[in-house]
Amino acid sequence: LPTSISNQGYAQFSTVARIQAGVLGLYATVRSGASFGGRYIEADEAKGDNWINATSNGITDYNTWREANTSNDTEVVGLWGQCYLSINDCNLFIDGMAASGSAVLGNATLTNNYVAEARFLRALNYFALLNMYCQPYAVSNGASPGVPLRLTGNSSAGDYTLAPATVAQVYTQIISDLTFAEANLPLAYFTTGTTLDATSNTTRASRNTAIALSTRVYLAKGDYANVITQANKIVTLTAPFTATTGVPYALQANIANVFKTPYTTTESVFSLPFTTAETPGTQNQLATYFVNTTGEFYINASSQLFTDPNWRATDARRGLTKVSGTKTYSNKYPTGSPYTDWAPVMRYSEVLLNLAEARVNVNGVADLQAIALLNAVRQRSDPGAPAIIPTIANILEERNIEFLAEGKRWLDLWRLHMDIPAKGATIGVLPATAPAYIWPMSATEQVYNPAIGR
Amino acid sequence: QSRTITGTVTGKDDGAPIPGVTVVVAGTKSGVTTNGSGSYTIKVPSGPQSLVFTSIGYLKKTEKITGSILNVSLESDTKSLAEVQVVGYGTTTKRANVGNIATVKGSEVVEQPVQNFQQALGGRAPGAQITIANGVSNTTPVFRIRGTNSISLSSQPLFVVDGVTVFAGDYGNESGGSALSNIDPNDIESIDIAKDGAATAIYGSQGANGVVFITTKKGKKGTAVISVNAYTGVTNVSRLPQVLNAAQYVALKNEAMVNAGVYSAATVPASGFGHAGFTTDASGNQVDTKWADLVYHTGKTYNVSTSISGGTEKTTYYGSANWSSQEGIIRRDAYKNKGMNFNIDHKANKYITLGMKVSYVDQLSLAAVTSGSLAGEQYATAGLGREALLLPPDISPYNADGSYNTNGAGMGTQGNVGSAYGTIAYTNPVSALALDRANAEISHTSANVYLQVKPTPWITLKTLYGADIIFNTADSFTNPITNYVSGVNTASALAFESTNKRYVWDNTAQFDHTFFGKHNFSLLLGNEQRGTNTNSFQLNRSVLSDPAFNVIQAGYSTTTYGGGGIGVNYLVSFFGRLNYNFDEKYFLSGTIRRDGYSGFGADKKYGYFPGFGASWVVDKEKFWDNMHFDKVFSSLKLRGSYAQVGNSNVGDFGSYTLYSASGLYNGQGTVLPSSTGNDKLGWETSKKTDIGFTVGFFKDRLTLDAAAYYNNINGLLYNVPAPPSAGLASNPLVNVGSMWNKGLEFDLNASIIQNSSFRWTANFNISFNQNKITALATGINQYTSGTTTSEITNISQVGYSIGNLWMIRSAGVDPNNGRRIWINAAGTKVEYAPTGTTATPTQKWYYMDGTAAPAITQAADAVNYANSTPKAYGGFSNTFSYKGFDLNILCTYQLGFSVYYGTQATLTDQRFWNNSTIILNHWTTPGQTAQYPQVYYGDNVSNGTGLPSDFNVYKGDFLKLKTVNFGYTIPKNITSKVNISNLRVFVSAQNLAIITKYPGPDPEVSAGGTGNSTQGIDRNTAANARVITAGISLKF
């Protein structure tokens, strides 16, 4: 085919330009509407308690929302496949760089930069798989079944039967990847000289991106000391909180700026770009799930989030919702067809709240930095709001308000092994011990990988 | 001292002159051949002499010279074993051939109004199943030799024309475009269908589906013979389903609306009756549109073929030209052909012969718009086959003001009103037929040159270089009238170009020698190289600036690249064949071919393909005569063979893991894995075993060929799914499956009456085939398939035949409430109530006791219902001649298979679609036993639209009066006065009648085209055409 390259003799690594395009390809796969560009965020939100499903459409997370998943569900099969497609692309890239690409580049630093990007993305995918398909680390300290750990690239027909690793083993690999990434990613991307390349700094991983993601991973693992160690590298001790080396992360004065063009603020730690030529694809777009007034989901009016007196009418984050009739929707992704709003993976405010939560866990609610961090996020959007005490509940609630429709609610419930609260009148509380708490294993994986178990 | 003898050689049976008869003075090698009018002149030394007359197909005759004129008549050689048969890289006779080859003479496929000769082969040869898939012109038939022999690869045979393997695919657009229509049937000398291992082994990795050799006519020595063959005729559609007229339609739809509770007099204008209502045209008449008459018509067919043939001792030539214009049954569907063909052979000296052939055909495959009949088109909303049936009869293609009835891309509902009635998303077929086009042009060149050297009489060295080149363009336009959507003229045009080039270079050495008088050896050694290049691209343009222009070059606001492809493959082969016979009694043959093919994986580029065969001509044994068997049995030959051959239709790059450089990440190019290859990708292996015999009775007046075969196929390619966690970009093709075909073939030929004025010959052949899949990939024991992704109709399961129908069982209509009863996987009856909701108490789906039941789905409840490929098929042909009259009648039949009549689901759908008159037998009152459920507007479940069900499946068994050809040859004494040596007039008919219980137009149909696993589906397909022609054939 005219635009195809055979892998014979590592032709896909034969020029510097191809290697660079190969790196971007890894991001493009992660950006897919089937995972981080849409479906992962949507599934995470649907599983949480903030939404009411409007369409009962089995294709668009209805079963996830009502906690009645089967292993054949579109979302269950789809995310699994897309994450592993991405993981394999990363593995093929890492293998190919060792076998051929590094010699072509002739630049050890650049080679390590690229491999670090691949390992960062691999870690991101593995963490998403843990989040949706596995028990949290808190359950039996990671001894429960994880997912198959695949670390070498698969490029032809073969026998790919492989048993899952434990949750702890997968965490170890994720942390290893992020550690490598932190050590080898560039400090920042520059357009020329010392002019920061805001676009690349948002759409590609730099050292600080890996550090930021590691705070999420350590927090999920309950390793608070490491959350603090890592966050300290990119968060100053006192407000205004910023990253002083690498990409200069900082909160935006107005949160709304994060969700509009050019989407490349210093708060956007990592976002995935969409353009008129690169779209998330039908039934993947965030807007059709949470934003459209005929969307798949509207805000659960009886949820803790929506009934929270601390989420005041003056809060700028209320401005990121919109009311239509009796229903309230999110408005974080307002751009209609062809849906070019960028998909956020991580924002700086999450790093601040991760650090706050870790410090409270280590030092208690009197921790001054924790208080400052929580209220920095809160008062950024509601400057008149009284400061609140950083109890874990308050931090979680702040996260819930801050990250609505960004795919963090289930992540928080899961990592703390909390019950899923009721969703309106029809879906009751789901205990954390219920079998339906986590997604079942992808049915196709079960059919073609007899070693998968479950 | 010599004298000159002259004379004429004629056939004993018909008295017609025989050109090309070799006349030799007995005991010498000097000879001449008869010219086009059968006469010869030879110089003979003085003294008593005899002349020996020999010609293929006639018994050798030696006649004493008694005067200066010697006229002889030759007797036909009815011994079928003397027939010449084409084999790979050579020829043999039926007697000497150890393989199983069915030969069809060119004369059997001429004068038939077909666009490609394959269409005329049905029923002519045992073991060859030909199914004409639809009524579209020049469609490529489903051609199966001894069953379906692959799952993922093509099961169509390999075609070899005059020694060159050629393209045989379809290059049409919305009309058919069989590449093999470049051969004018008038130019065909013979078609030899190689079926078993011994016959196909010489083609190695390409032989698994059988090989069809087409030999075109060559020049014959003598003065030039000019022949002209012309016919004209008409083509009609037949057996279309009867649909409701406007009054019946309005009554039925309104009844359905009342039942559905959507009918409300208050919402309907006073002029209407219910939501469906009559339309009046400009002259005030009530519209009653017969859409079928607007879609189908009587097509006109013209065909003229001329040829000239002749030659000298040294040089022979044959040239022909063909002009054909054949309209299909669908309006604007047509096939227009202009072809030229020329070959010349020259004997330069005692040792060297050389020659060449070139043919050029320019072919137009014309159509206005999709017929909905070619594979994958069944649900096109513009599909004419479906539109002819389902459009409401109470609307007109025109509005009262004379403009086309359109509404957006669909049609206006006219007299039918109300939101419950809905909108008509189907395009106006009349405006589409008038203004759209979907044409293809195929320029096809085939040529070869050869040089043959015979340094000694027993060595033949030959080199042949051939080319087969197709330039193909497609040109489509959708008009601005039906595409004037929301103020924007979205008319669009499409242009497609492809070049397809194939070069073949063969080098062979043949050694024929007889040792000690009776040990006959023939050794063939050869090498073949074949290269194929394809290149294509497509341009799509839309939103036309000026509706007056409709070419791709006009102004459009959007231009997009519509895709394309580049393909390259190369085959290099070495092969050998050793034939030995002792005294023409015991025959042994061994073949081996080594193929190296670029399409195979890195580890499997080369393979060896061996074949063996043996035969015993029993009637040559002394004991045969001693035991007086010869009194009854005039001949008996036993035969057996075994070979391993392959199917190499793997695509050019299937073995490679590919990265695509076509994606973007925030505007910058990416490189990503796009498909997963397999270094071990190889050919599918067919192990073919064949045993058979040929027996002749009564001086071979009656002959029977019988064969039994077993074809065990291993390493069937299948896109094997890997665990998703392996992260493969696609499912790679892996050689994993296995399947077998076994069967019996009988071919009975009889010369029932043979006298000088009346002759009657008959052929009856029948083939039985059984197919079973024995393995698919690990963890997979079935896969499903359909004609499009919109409807899955077939299932292929381990332990069953490929492509069986996958249907939900039903149990009729409940007389109590008029609802459809299905049977679920557990065998329990489940009723469907269109009025129900998913909430209790009125369920949509419930058991007979009223309790809720899970909805019937195909995935859960369908069963492996019936086989879709015939268990038996064949033909019955009779040829009569009486004085100048001749009559040939061919009947074909296929037995033991079922057809899913999906069109019937279309025709009983309770949306706005028109229905077949069978719907009139629907339930209305409790206690009534009806064929169809109570009509409920909007119900597309009870009729099986989305649930392929057994009530739309019928036995497909048929017997077809396929061809009738009746001719009269004007007596020679009249024609010779105007210097015409032969003048025959004829009438011919195709598909004249059919005996079948199948209620659809034609059970010989394949909505799935030539697909392996999608046979037996009749879904919105245009029926086969009935053609009647009259013509004339003359020779000068």
The full set of domain ranges for chain A reads 15-153+164-426
Q: Say which of B656, B672, B779 has its CB closest to residue A89.
A: B672
Alpha-carbon distance B857 to nearest alpha carbon in chain A (angstroms) = 15
Nearest to B356 by CA among B463, B202, B495: B463
Residue B695 sits at φ, ψ, to 5 deg, of -130, 140
Cβ neighbours of B653 in A, within 8 Å: 1, 4, 6
**Token pair belonging to B313:** 């001792």
- Please indicate, yes or no, whether residues B199 and B70 belong to a single structural domain of this protein: no
DSSP β-ladder status, B863-866 and B953-955: unpaired
Of A6, A92, A447, the CB nearest to B779: A447
* pLDDT given for residue A400 in this prediction: 96
Nearest chain B residue to A151 by CA: give it.
B726
> Which residues of B are less than 8 Å from A6 in CB distance?
653, 656-659, 677
How many CB pairs (< 8 A) connect A and B? 167
Residue B840 pLDDT level (bands cut at 50, 70, 90): very low
The kind and range of the H/E element at A167 are: helix A167-184
The verdict on a CB contact (< 8 Å) between A156 and B657 is yes
Number of structural domains, chain B?
2
CATH code, domain carrying B97: 2.170.130.10
Nearest Cα residue in chain A from B660? A4
Name residue A186's amino acid. Answer: P
Nearest C-alpha in B relative to A32: B665
Q: Rounded to whole angstroms, how far apart are CA atoms B575 and B568?
A: 23
With respect to residue B193, please indicate whether it lies within any of the assigned structural domains.
yes
B816 CB near a chain A CB, below 8 Å? no
Mutate which: A154, A162, A191, vs B, most B CBs within 10 A: A154
| Cβ–Cβ gap B565/A154 under 8 Å | no
Say yes or no: B121 and B178 in one domain.
yes
**Phi and psi based region of residue A305 (left: phi greater than 0; alpha: psi -120 to 50; beta: remaining):** alpha
CB hemisphere CA count around B112 (13 angstroms): 27
Please write the tens of the pLDDT for every residue from B476-492: 999 888 776 666 788 89
Cβ within 8 Å of A, B 598-657? 653, 656-657
Please report, for chain B, how many H helices and E strands are present, in that order: 9, 55
Dist. CA B494–CA B544, nearest whole Å: 12
Q: Nearest CB to B666: which of A18, A275, A450?
A: A275
CA max distance for chain B: 114
A379 to chain B, minimum CA–CA distance in Å? Answer: 33
Per the CB < 8 Å rule, is B658 touching A4? yes
Residues B105 and B194 in one domain: yes
User: Dihedral through CA A151, CA A154, CA A158, CA A164, nearest 10?
Assistant: 30
Cβ-based contacts of B674 with chain A (< 8 Å): 4
Nearest to residue B643, comparing CAs of B687, B590, B707? Answer: B687
Q: How far is A134 from chain B (nearest CA, A)?
A: 15
Measured between CA atoms, how close is A212 to chain B, in angstroms?
23
Are residues B54 and B100 part of one domain? no
Q: Which of B158, B189, B219 is the last residue of a domain?
A: B219
B854 contacts chain A (CB < 8 A): no
CATH of the domain at B46: 2.60.40.1120
Average pLDDT (B110-114) is 81
**Given B77, B103, B119, which residue is the final one in a domain?**
B77
CB of A161 less than 8 A from some CB of B? yes
Residues B291-340: tens digit of each pLDDT: 999 999 999 999 999 999 999 989 999 999 999 999 999 999 999 999 99
Answer for the pair B323, B357: CB distance below 8 angstroms, yes or no: no
| pLDDT band per the 50, 70, 90 thresholds, residue B841 | very low
Kindly state the greatest CA–CA separation across chain A.
Answer: 64
With 0-12 / 13-18 / 19 or more C-beta atoms within 10 angstroms meaning exposed / middle / buried, residue B939 is buried
Model pLDDT for residues B691-722, shown as the tens digit of each residue: 999 998 887 889 999 999 999 999 999 888 88
B670: closest chain A residue by CA: A21
Predicted local confidence at residue B73, as pLDDT: 85
Contacts of residue B867, defined as CB under 8 A and 6 or more positions apart, other chains included, come to: B800, B801, B804, B805, B896, B897, B898, B1016
Rg (CA), chain A: 21
Across the interface, whether the CB atoms of A442 and B724 are under 8 A apart is answered: yes
Q: For B801-817, what is the HEC assignment?
A: CCCEEEEEEEEEECCCC
**B19 and B219 Cβ atoms separated by less than 8 Å:** no
Residue B404 is which amino acid? Y
Contacts of A452 in chain B (CB under 8 A): 723, 725
Structural domain contains residue B348? no
Q: Is the dihedral of CA A353, A354, A355, A358 positive or negative?
A: positive
- What is the pLDDT, as a whole number, of residue B65? 85
Residue A70 with chain B: CB contacts under 8 Å: none
Distances (CA, A) of B870 to B654, B969, B1013: 32, 39, 13
Give the DSSP H/E element, type plus range, for residue A363: helix A348-363
C-beta atoms of B726 and A89 within 8 A: no
- Cα B18 from Cα A22, distance rounded (Å): 73
Whole-number percent of chain B with pLDDT over 70: 97
Q: Would residue B16 count as lying in a domain?
A: yes
pLDDT of residue A127: 98
Quick check: helix, strand or coil at residue A191?
Answer: coil
pLDDT tens column, A70-89: 888 999 999 999 999 999 99
CA distance B647 to B652: 14
Question: In terms of domains, do B11 and B134 share one?
Answer: no
Q: Identify the architecture of domain A15-153+164-426 in CATH.
A: Alpha Horseshoe (1.25)
Tokens of residue B560, six digits: 């997009």
Cβ-Cβ contacts under 8 Å, B657 against chain A: 6-7, 155-156
**Residues in Cβ contact with A383 at an 8 Å cutoff, skipping those fewer than 6 apart:** none
Identify the H or E element spanning A221.
helix A207-221
Rounded CA-CA distance B537/A228 in Å is 58
User: Is the model more confident about A431 or about B10?
Assistant: A431
Measured distance CA(B55)–CA(B45) in Å, rounded: 23
Alpha carbon distance A64, A76 (integer Å): 9
Distance separating alpha carbons of residues A322 and A301, to the nearest angstrom: 13
Confidence (pLDDT) at B486:
66
A156·B729 Cβ contact <8 A: no
Map residue B279 onto helix, strand or coil. coil
Instruction: Say whether residue A146 is in contact with chain B using an 8 A CB cutoff.
Output: no
Helices and strands in chain A, H and E counts: 16, 7
Q: Which domain holds residue B89?
A: 81-219
Rounded CA separation B721/B732 (Å)? 7
Q: What is the pLDDT of residue B880?
A: 94
Q: Starting from the edge strand earliest in sequence, which strands make up the sheet with B953-955, in order? A: B953-955, B898-901, B1017-1018
For residue A439, the distance in angstroms to the closest alpha carbon of chain B comes to: 16
Q: Single out the residue in B160, B193, B219 at which a domain terminates.
A: B219
B660 to A3: CB separation less than 8 angstroms, yes or no: yes
Of B659, B668, B725, the CB nearest to A4: B659
Question: Are B666 and A273 an interchain contact pair (Cβ–Cβ within 8 Å)?
Answer: yes
Domain shared by B95 and B73, yes or no = no
CB spacing of B725 vs A1 below 8 angstroms: no
Is the pLDDT at B267 greater than 70? The verdict is no
In degrees to the nearest 10, what's the CA dihedral of A159, A163, A169, A174? 40
Residues B71 and B85 in one domain: no
Determine the residue among B600, B604, B666 to mutate to test chain A binding: the one whose Cβ has the most chain A Cβ atoms within 10 Å: B666
Contacts of B723 in chain A (CB under 8 A): 148, 160-162, 444-445, 448-449, 452
Q: Measured between CB atoms, does B664 come within 8 Å of chain A?
A: yes
Which pLDDT does position B270 carry in this prediction?
46
Q: How confident is the model at residue B271 (pLDDT cuts 50, 70, 90)?
A: very low
How are the residues of chain B apportioned to helix, strand and coil, as percentages rounded to the nearest 5? 10, 50, 40
The answer, for A452 touching chain B at a CB cutoff of 8 Å, is yes
Which residue of chain A comes nearest to B655, CA vs CA?
A156
Q: What is the pLDDT of residue A176?
A: 98
Which of B658, B668, B679 minimises the CB distance to A5? Answer: B658
Q: Does A2 touch chain B (CB under 8 A)?
A: yes
Burial class (CB in 10 A: 0-12, 13-18, 19+), B580: middle
**Cβ atoms within 10 A of the Cβ of B933, count?**
26
Which is nearest to A286 in space by CA: A324, A332, A348? A332
Question: Which pLDDT score is estimated for A57?
Answer: 85
Residues of A in contact with B661 (CB under 8 A): 3-5, 18, 21
Query: Taking the alpha carbons of B1000, B1004, B1010, B1016 in that order, is the dihedral positive or negative?
Result: positive
Spans of chain A below 70 pLDDT: 1-2, 454
- Please give, rounded to a whole number of angstroms, the shortest distance from the CA of A89 to a CA of chain B: 7
Q: Calculate the alpha carbon distances from B359 to B161, B302, B324, B341, B445 in Å.
A: 12, 21, 16, 4, 6
pLDDT in tens, B524-574: 999 999 999 999 999 999 988 888 888 999 999 989 988 888 899 999 999
Put simply, the answer to whether A91 touches B564 (Cβ < 8 Å) is no
- Computed over every residue of chain B, the mean pLDDT equals 90
Query: Do B66 and B87 share a domain, yes or no?
Result: no
Number of C-beta neighbours around residue B240 at 10 A: 18
Nearest CA in chain B to A148: B725
Quick count: other Cβ atoms within 10 Å of Cβ A9?
9
Residue B969 pairs with which residues in a beta bridge?
Answer: B984
In chain B, residues with a C-beta closer than 8 Å to the C-beta of A28 are: 663-665, 670, 672
pLDDT digits (tens, 9 = 90+) for A283-335: 899 999 999 887 899 999 999 999 998 899 999 999 999 999 899 999 999 99
Q: Is residue B99 part of a domain?
A: yes
Identity of the residue in B658, B670, B676 whose CB atom sits nearest the CB atom of A21: B670
What confidence tier does B510 reach under pLDDT thresholds 50, 70, 90?
A: very high
Residue B268 within a domain: no
Q: What pLDDT, on a 0 to 100 scale, did the predictor assign at position B264?
A: 63
Give the tens place of pLDDT for each residue, B53-94: 888 777 788 888 888 888 888 877 655 566 778 888 888 887
* Inside any domain, residue B570: no
Assess whether pLDDT exceeds 50 at residue B839. Answer: no
Measure A339 CA to nearest chain B CA, in Å.
14
Assigned domain for B151 exists? yes
- Same domain as B140, residue B206: yes
CA dihedral A73, A76, A81, A82 (to 10 degrees): 110
